[in-house]
Copies of this chain bind each other. A is one copy, B any other.
Amino acid sequence: MSAKHQDLEIQTRIDHILARLREEGFRVTPQRLAVLEVLAASENHPSVEAIYDQVRRRFSTISLATVYKTISLLKEIHEVLELGFADRSSRYDGHKPYPHPHLICTRCGRIQDPELSSLEELTREATTQTGFEIVTHRLDFFGLCNDCRCEE
């Protein structure tokens, strides 16, 4: 994928989220734009701190609370997926804002999206077996990424 094509994709995503914000009657502020630009550009499921650090480079006065509020707003309009963990840390996916599996490296913290075809099958199995009406799900695999596995 060329750098230019990549940039276009990012801009398309940004425009879409901006449109969604206006659609829902929310204001587009420079702070919000800065946060969602970071989310749209990042390939790495960034944490709040990572987003905050990035945004501050071009917007030194922004408050951490504003970053939290903006992310919360993007969650509300279903344009970001939050991966909250039990240790209170969270990572965010601004590209695929719907449930999907993740591979999490416990050594370097990298988070990756695999494409798994047999997940739907699994959901069906769970539904028929228990009578649950499944609304959403969360699937995390933990282990060592390719890089960390080789360095061990």
Contacts and interface: CB of A to CB of B under 8 A. Distances in A.
Interface stretch (A42-50, A61-69, A129-137): A129-137
Given A142-B136, A145-B131, A101 B86 contact: no
Interface stretch (A11-19, A23-31, A33-41, A119-127): A119-127
Contacts of A82: 86
Nearest to A137: B141
How many identical chains are in the complex?
2
Interface in A86-134: 86-88, 90, 101, 103, 105-106, 112, 114-119, 121-123, 125-126, 129-134
A15 B65 CA distance: 50
Given A86-B85, A135-B106, A112 B141 contact: no
